[in-house]
Amino acid sequence: MNAAPAARRPRWFVPGDLNGFFGLVVDNLSILGFVAAALVGMFGMPAEIVFGRMFPGTALGVLIGNLLYTAMARRLAARSGRDDVTAMPLGLDAPTSIGMALLVLGPAYASWRAQGLDPQAAGLNTWQLGMASLVVMGLLKLALSFAGDAIARRVPRAALLGSIGGAALVLLGFLPLVEALRVPVVGLVTLGLLLYVLAARGRLPVRVPGVLFAFVVGTALYYGLGLAGALPGFALPAPAPLAFSPPWPGLGFLDGLPATVPYLSLLLPFGLLMVIGGINVAESARAAGDDYRTRDVLLVEAVSTLVAGVCGGVAQTTPYIGQPAYKHMGARSGYTLLTGLFVGLGGMLGIVSGLVQWLPLAALAPIIVYVGLDIAVQAFHATPREHAIAVALAFLPAVAYLLTIKFGNPAWIPPDTFAALYDGIDGHGLAEVAVIATLGNGFIITAMLWAGALVALIEHRPRQAAAVLLLAGVLTLFGFIHSVEPRGGVYLPWLLEGTRQAIAWQFAAAYGVLALLLALLSLQRTARA
């Protein structure tokens, strides 16, 4: 009897991995660019601390996570005998990375400077706070990782994909689009070329990856027009010297732990958001045909965040919601290996810091826009048609969060003024700004609960819908969703005062009343049966 043929080992690299590599690298570099612009440009933190201490450890987290996801993809491909398995993309989380810069690190640095510390001492304190923040979030994610599979089995696909689809369309689609169109001749051209090569499958005159072609054209336009004086505000960045900065593990995060206490109301929701997001992206990959175990996806995310924090990082890693988009690009497992090595080693050698300063944001942002569009479309395609309205409903809290980001931008509205906008009740009810911010805070969890309740109603299970709504009411009281703190923090409801207490109880009561009515309606249906 002939022996069964041995399973073919998956290839290390395929042509589509170049597309995926470039897209994933650009995602990470663009987020690092946002963080650097906020800390150095807005808050005045010393650049050598940001680039020489914060970036190497942050990049190490990206290296560790992508190496582990590469190994997971190759193991799945070998086990299934398939050669089309795409690795989970891992990188820096955009909302929480930018939130860390604007709401934690930047204000903490400004506070230490106001206390009389010199820029170097205040910057080092801020760095230790960032390290400790990652350790806190990483430990939370590690503890919650083991519940991932159970949550994924019990939450409808429309709730999982709808919540992440809304985040993709609004945060990965609209926000980067605004940045791209700040230089329209670069941003719009780059986006159009991306849609031509990726969505329309258009042909190119040269055999190069489509993403690379679009980015090279956009970058050439940016620097060509800029040097010709045709772009307002154009300026060449100062060259950054190469320097070897190994992210050695240390105990500096212990010194920063006491400073995290005032920010726990932000850090814990940041970590919880990543767990929910990790569950969602695992479901997204499963819908695209790659059946990764949710627990493994979450554990890698937690470990890479912890490693980054212990080694000096300040921004948490997360599996990206764009796995189906990278799959459509033809990427397999080589792109995550290349990305991890490039970002990790480049962060240690100063290459990443140099690139962050030279890559034009107007040419980077359209790539993120495309990923956002692709995920939003998949949310509808991968759910039953009768659940499409639940997917659409799940998009709405993300819109509120988008407005909250803009309203909460210190460059637009000072934090004290923004907080004051919560106060006031007119003849139409609560203040509009308070409603928008409250709806946006905790938007991913809100979207999952709303879509889950609606799916239960569509499937004629009103009692289950009522239970979901009661859970939403309880989470509302403690600020896990619909937080009445402008920064989205959690709290004890009996410590709230004034208008904010009224808002919290109004939202919680709304969920309670609706749950009660649905429970009564379920009794009516039972009586008829």
- Tens of pLDDT, residues 342-396: 999 988 888 888 877 787 878 877 877 887 788 788 788 878 899 999 999 999 9
Burial of 364 (0-12, 13-18, 19+ CB in 10 A): buried
Give me the half-sphere count of Cα atoms (radius 13 Å) on the Cβ side of residue 385: 0
Task: Give the pLDDT score at 54.
Answer: 93
Task: Give the pLDDT score at 1.
Answer: 43
> Which tokens go with 155?
């939450």
pLDDT-derived band at 401, boundaries 50, 70, 90: confident
Average pLDDT for 183-204: 91
Q: Is the pLDDT at 467 greater than 50, yes or no?
A: yes
How far is CA 451 from each of CA 155, 166, 253, 395, 454, rounded to the nearest angstrom?
Answer: 10, 12, 39, 9, 5
d(CA 143, CA 134): 14
d(CA 524, CA 518): 10
Sorted by sequence, the CB contacts under 8 Å of residue 215 that are 6+ apart come out as: 22, 26, 190, 363, 364, 367
DSSP state of 387: G
* Residue count of the chain: 529
* Measured CA angle at 128 (ends 125, 129), to 5 deg: 85
pLDDT-derived band at 9, boundaries 50, 70, 90: confident
pLDDT-derived band at 101, boundaries 50, 70, 90: confident
How far is CA 49 from each of CA 127, 130, 307, 492, rounded to the nearest angstrom?
Answer: 8, 12, 19, 36
The β-bridge partners of 317 are 92
- Answer yes or no: are the C-beta atoms of 334 and 166 closer than 8 Å: no
Is the entire prediction scored with pTM above 0.85? Answer: no
Task: Give the pLDDT score at 44.
Answer: 85
Average pLDDT for 429-445: 83
Task: Give the pLDDT score at 340.
Answer: 92
How far is CA 316 from each of CA 21, 159, 215, rounded to the nearest angstrom?
Answer: 20, 24, 26
- Answer yes or no: are the C-beta atoms of 280 and 117 closer than 8 Å: no
DSSP H stretches of helix in 43-183 = 47-49, 55-80, 94-99, 106-114, 119-144, 148-154, 157-167, 175-180
Q: Are strands 317-319 and 90-92 parallel, antiparallel or unpaired?
A: antiparallel
Higher pLDDT, 466 or 17: 466
Provide the 3-class DSSP secondary structure of residue 485: coil
Q: At 360, give phi and psi (nearest 5°).
A: -70, 130
Task: Give the pLDDT score at 151.
Answer: 65
How far is CA 123 from each of CA 43, 137, 310, rounded to the nearest angstrom?
Answer: 11, 21, 17
Please give the helix or strand (H or E) that residue 501 lies within, else none: helix 498-528
Burial of 497 (0-12, 13-18, 19+ CB in 10 A): exposed
Single-letter residue type at 293: R
DSSP state of 480: S
- Answer yes or no: are the C-beta atoms of 103 and 120 closer than 8 Å: no
DSSP state of 261: G
Average pLDDT for 434-452: 87
Count CB-CB contacts under 10 A for residue 177. 18
The structure tokens 């050598």 sit at: 48
Task: Give the pLDDT score at 34.
Answer: 73
d(CA 500, CA 513): 20
